[in-house]
Amino acid sequence: MNRRTFLKSLSLLTLPYLGVLGSQKSKIDFKHGVASGDPTNTHIILWTRVTPSKPSIGQLNVEYQVSKDVNFTNIVSIGTLKADIGRDFTVKVDVDLSKHQPGTNFFYRFKCEDSLSPVGQTKTLPLKNLKHFKIAVFSCSNYPAGYFNAYKDAAKDKSIDLVLHLGDYLYEYKMGDYATENAENLSRVPIPFSELKSLSDYRIRHAQYKSDLDAQLLHASFPMIPIWDDHEVANNSYKTGAQNHQENEGFFLSRKRNALKAYFEWMPVRDIERFGSFYKNFKIGDLVNLQVLESRLSSREKQISYDDFIDKDAGLNKEKFLKELNKERELIGQNQLDKVRKNTSNKYTWNVIAQQVLLSKLKLPDLPEIILENIPAGYEYFRTIIKDDLPYNLDSWDGYPNERRKLLSYLKNKGQILFLAGDSHNCWAGNIKDDQDHFIGVEFGAPSVTSPGTSEATGELFPIKILENMVVNKNDDLVWTNLLNRGYVTIDFTREIAKTRFIGLSQVKTKNYSREVLKEFIVEKNKEII
Ligand SMILES: [Fe+2]
C-alpha cells in the first residue's frame, strides 16, 4: 500500500483525522505511526518514534497532546518528552487522565520541531454501569509470511474497545529461514537479513514491523495490551535459553536483555520490568477481570523433548518419559500462580486469563499414512506418540501437566474462567476441566495473523476438513478447530454472554481478501460450550 492508498483506506474508515501526517518539509519524520496501550481507568501509555534527519543528532524534544476532540481544540493533557539514541528515538508516556471519566475516548498526537505525527484514538477502561465491552485477539504476526490483513480488517470494526496481542508480534528469523519463502514476492524481506541477536538487530526488526501501514492503522485505532511469546526473543524460549539459540551465538541472557530492551522501547506497554514482574491485571468495571500472564522468560523451565527418551532400536521409553513429564516444572511460576489465585474472583461477571500457549490437552489422531510418510525431519516421534496416546506439543501446557493441575486447582470455585491463547497458528475452542472432570472454563485459541498453520504443512496430502474432524473426535474436551485460516478472534462481553467470533481471512498473500465468520460461540455463564 502506498501513502495515497493508505490515506484513502483511512478515509474509508471514516477516520480521516488519523491521516494527519507531518509536514512534508520538516526534517523530522514519524515513520512508525503512533500507538497506545496498557489502559487502566485513569492512565494510558502513548507511544511514538521520531526519525531524525541524521542518526547522530543528540536529543529531541517531543511534545505529546491529548484531546477529547479530533481537531485538538480541547487539549486535556500536554507535556514534553526527550527522544535520543538511548531509547532508539522512541518516546512513551504514561499519561494521567484521572480527572476524566473512566471509559472516555481521547485523541492523541505528537509534535517534534514543526512536524506533527498522525493522530491516534484511544480510551481509558470504563469503571461503572458497563453493559458491553468488546476485545479483539491477535497472535503470530509474521511479516515475511504475508500481509497483516487481519489488522486492517479489525481496524474497520468500530465496536472494538481494546486489542490484545498474545505474542509473536514479530519473528527473529533470518531471510531464508521459517516462513520467508514468499518474502521477496511480497516485498516483505525481513531486515536485518540475519537472525536477531544484538540490540541493534531487534530495534531494526521492530522498526520494520511498525513501518507496516496495517500495523500502524490498528495501533492508531485502538489501545493494545500486548505480551510477548517466544519469537520476540527466539523460538521456543525459556528462562535461560531457547531452541533457536546456540552456544556459538553468545550468552542467551544478553540476547534476552537486548530483545526485551527493544520490546519495551518499541511497544506501547508500561515498563513493568522495573517492578520485577511481567504479570498484568486490568479491571474493566465489574464486567471483565483481565489477567495477562507471561509464560516464557520469567519462570519457564526448559521444555522436555521426545528425542531424549527415544532409542533408535528400543523406541520410546514411555515410563521414563512420563516420570520426567510429571515432575514439578515451572511454566508461569509460583509467583504468577499466587497472583492468579488472589486476583481471580467471582465478583466479576467474566474472569479472563490471557496467555500464550494452549492450556487444552491435545493429542494427535491416527494420522493417515500419507501424512506420516511426509512428516518433516525432527517430527518422526509422531508415530510413537500416536501409538502411545501421548501429548504432542511439549512447549505448551501439555509439557507442564503438574503446573497445569496446580493452576486449575487454584481456579476451582472462582466462577467460570475464559482462557485465551495464541502461539499455535490455528483456531481452537474447547472446555477446560481438571483431572476430576470439574468444569473450570472455556478456552479459545486465536489463529495467527500470517504465520503458516497446519494446512500449509499438510498441503494437498489430505483434506483439511477431515483432519479437523479427526482432531476434534480424538480430544474429548475440544469442541472445534480450524486448521486452515489466518485471522483473529473477537469477544463481545455482556452481563449474560460472551459472544466469541473466529474471523477467518481468505488470503494473506495478497492485500485483497474476503472475510468470513468461521465460527461463533455464545458462551453462557458456567456452561460448557458445545
Ligand atoms: Fe507463532
Site of grid cell 519524520 = 29
Which three three-digit cell numbers place residue 491?
A: 469477544
State the DSSP string of 390-432.
-BS-TTSGGG-HHHHHHHHHHHTTS--EEEEE-SSSSEEEEEE
In whole angstroms, give the CA distance from residue 201 to residue 229. Answer: 18
In whole angstroms, give the CA distance from residue 93 to residue 201. Answer: 25
What separation in Å is there between the alpha carbon of 166 and the centre of ligand 1?
10
Site of grid cell 513429564 = 325
**Segment-wise mean pLDDT, segments of 10 residues, the chain, 530 residues:** 40 40 64 98 98 85 98 97 96 98 97 96 93 97 98 98 98 97 98 98 98 98 98 97 96 96 97 76 96 96 94 87 97 96 96 98 93 83 90 97 98 94 98 96 98 91 94 97 98 97 98 98 96
The SS3 assignment for 372 reads: helix
Which amino acid type is present at position 187? S
**Closest listed residue to residue 298, CA positions, set 255, 270, 334:** 334
Q: For the chain, list the domains and their CATH numbers.
A: 130-524 (3.60.21.70)
What separation in Å is there between the alpha carbon of 442 and the centre of ligand 1?
22
What separation in Å is there between the alpha carbon of 145 and the centre of ligand 1?
11
What separation in Å is there between the alpha carbon of 466 and the centre of ligand 1?
24
**Closest listed residue to residue 210, CA positions, set 81, 89, 43, 77:** 89
In whole angstroms, give the CA distance from residue 36 to residue 105. Answer: 12
**Sequence-separated (6 or more) residues with CB below 8 Å from residue 387:** none
What separation in Å is there between the alpha carbon of 143 and the centre of ligand 1?
11
- Give me the torsion for CA of 353, 354, 357, 359, rounded to 10°: 20
What separation in Å is there between the alpha carbon of 134 and the centre of ligand 1?
24
What separation in Å is there between the alpha carbon of 316 and the centre of ligand 1?
28
**Sequence-separated (6 or more) residues with CB below 8 Å from residue 218:** 148, 151, 152, 154, 155, 163, 224
**Closest listed residue to residue 293, CA positions, set 407, 169, 379:** 407
What separation in Å is there between the alpha carbon of 385 and the centre of ligand 1?
23
In whole angstroms, give the CA distance from residue 526 to residue 439. Answer: 8
What is the radius of gyration, based on Cα positions, of the chain? 23
Are the beta carbons of 310 and 316 closer than 8 angstroms? yes
What separation in Å is there between the alpha carbon of 104 and the centre of ligand 1?
34
What separation in Å is there between the alpha carbon of 111 and the centre of ligand 1?
35
What separation in Å is there between the alpha carbon of 170 and the centre of ligand 1?
9
Which three three-digit cell numbers place residue 396?
A: 505448551
Instruction: Give me the pLDDT at residue 4, please.
Output: 40
What separation in Å is there between the alpha carbon of 150 and the centre of ligand 1?
15
The SS3 assignment for 167 reads: coil
The SS3 assignment for 131 reads: coil
Sort strands 439-445 and 486-494 into parallel, antiparallel or unpaired: unpaired
What separation in Å is there between the alpha carbon of 4 and the centre of ligand 1?
32
What separation in Å is there between the alpha carbon of 517 and the centre of ligand 1?
22
The overall pTM is greater than 0.75: yes
Which amino acid type is present at position 398? D
Which three three-digit cell numbers place residue 159?
A: 465496536
What separation in Å is there between the alpha carbon of 234 and the centre of ligand 1?
11
What separation in Å is there between the alpha carbon of 162 and the centre of ligand 1?
21
Sort strands 223-226 and 34-37 into parallel, antiparallel or unpaired: parallel
What separation in Å is there between the alpha carbon of 487 and the centre of ligand 1?
13
Neighbours of 406 (CB within 10 A): 18
